[in-house]
């Protein structure tokens, strides 16, 4: 299994495209899975531009029904259809997403060459929405003007790998190997050999939390506590806290405070208001509170699995 957690930002602006920034969309590679998080206008353009694999997407997660988070979805789906996709595509999103897509598909006289599964969710607490062998995805409530979800993507802890040389050294049988991989010690002739002497260290699981449009609300902290990377919207600079509250958004300082309280390793900013041609001030304000802040911007590639060990790229 390919152990990875890599985020590519496709769009980082808020309500509409501006200054080369498209509305919200992110492409997440987690282990051997490819997911899309939100699908604002221009998402499929970015996927092609950044040479990402559209047909590798198995799931699309939609945070809420505002247009800057869903208007790219019909175009992406119909393009998949035109390219003769065969694999099932699952969309997980709020109530209304099925009706939205059904109407667009029907009125545009589109047809599906593949199975389109649409799962509508309503959550009042953290809820498991996807459970695979190696990863789990939870939805949790965030606090915008309409029902909105955040999503938490978590790698599951892998079994420890037994060192090849110890199999021959101790003449281990299949049952003993299974027990060692499950974490048990080995007992031979009344001698106990500790599991860590027989196995390689398991890779620590990483996690990514996506907090879509939301105010900075303390109730979110329990859902994202200790994640490796946290995306938290930063629509405005910090002097506009009142405006942010009125419109159901957050500022750079508020996002940084949430990251600090949540004890995350890295904060990713995004969802910038079109009032800002340059968003460097948003980054600097956040870094003043939470130094490990990365400017989320169209084309950012963040290797969450190896954060601090590799450079951050931008396409």
What confidence score (pLDDT) does residue 37 get?
98
Q: What are the structure tokens assigned to 231, written together? A: 């995306």
> pTM of whole model > 0.85?
yes
How far is it, in rounded angstroms, from Cα 180 to Cα 48? 45
Enumerate residues 6+ apart whose C-beta is below 8 A from 174. none
* Domains of the chain as residue ranges with CATH: 5-158+203-314 (3.60.15.10), 161-200 (no CATH)
What confidence score (pLDDT) does residue 189 get?
77
How far is it, in rounded angstroms, from Cα 308 to Cα 119? 36
Query: What is the dihedral angle through the alpha carbons of 198, 200, 201, 203, rounded to the nearest 10 degrees?
Result: -140
Q: What is the pLDDT along the chain (315 residues), one digit of tens a residue?
A: 678 999 999 999 999 999 999 999 999 999 999 999 999 999 999 999 999 999 999 999 999 999 999 999 999 999 999 888 999 999 999 999 999 999 999 999 988 899 999 999 999 999 999 999 999 999 999 999 999 999 999 999 776 677 788 788 888 888 887 877 777 888 877 788 887 777 776 667 999 999 999 999 999 999 999 999 999 999 999 999 999 999 999 999 999 999 999 999 999 999 999 999 999 999 999 999 999 999 999 999 999 998 865 555 665
Q: Tokens 């106990």 map to which residue?
A: 192
How far is it, in rounded angstroms, from Cα 209 to Cα 224? 6
- The residue from 38, 68, 213, 303 that is catalytic is 68
Q: Which 3 state secondary structure label does DSSP give 147?
A: strand
Nearest partner of 4 among 299, 302, 210, judged by Cα: 302
What confidence score (pLDDT) does residue 185 get?
82
What confidence score (pLDDT) does residue 41 get?
96
What confidence score (pLDDT) does residue 1 get?
63
Contact status, residue 58 vs residue 33, Cβ threshold 8 Å: yes
Please say if 68 is a catalytic residue: yes
């Amino acid at each position: 299994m390919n152990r990875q957690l890599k985020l590519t930002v496709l769009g980082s602006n808020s309500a509409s495209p501006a200054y080369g920034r498209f509305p919200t969309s992110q492409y997440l590679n987690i282990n051997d899975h490819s997911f899309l998080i939100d699908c604002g206008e221009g998402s499929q353009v970015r996927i092609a531009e950044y040479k990402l694999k559209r047909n590798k997407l198995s799931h699309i997660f939609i945070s809420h029904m505002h247009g800057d988070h869903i208007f790219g979805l019909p175009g992406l789906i119909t393009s998949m259809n035109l390219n003769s996709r065969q694999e099932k595509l699952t969309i997980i999103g709020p109530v209304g997403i099925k009706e939205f897509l059904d109407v667009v598909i029907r009125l545009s006289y589109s047809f599906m060459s593949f199975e389109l599964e649409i799962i509508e969710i309503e959550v009042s607490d953290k809820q498991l929405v996807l459970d695979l062998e190696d990863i789990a995805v939870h939805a949790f409530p965030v606090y915008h003007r309409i029902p909105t979800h955040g999503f938490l993507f978590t790698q599951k802890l892998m079994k420890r790998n037994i060192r090849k040389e110890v199999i021959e050294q101790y003449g281990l049988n299949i049952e003993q190997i299974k027990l060692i991989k499950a974490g048990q010690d080995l007992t031979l002739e009344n001698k106990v050999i500790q599991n860590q002497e027989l196995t390689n260290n398991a890779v620590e699981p990483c996690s990514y939390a996506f907090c879509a449009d939301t105010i900075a609300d303390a109730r979110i902290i329990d859902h994202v506590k200790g994640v490796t990377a946290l995306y938290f919207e930063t629509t405005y600079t910090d002097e506009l806290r009142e405006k942010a509250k009125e419109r159901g958004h957050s500022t750079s300082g508020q996002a940084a405070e949430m990251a600090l309280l949540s004890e995350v390793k890295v904060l990713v900013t995004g969802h910038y208001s079109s009032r800002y041609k340059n968003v460097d001030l948003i980054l600097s304000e956040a870094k003043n509170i939470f130094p490990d802040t990365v400017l989320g911007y169209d084309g950012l590639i963040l290797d969450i699995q190896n954060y601090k060990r590799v450079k951050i790229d931008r396409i």
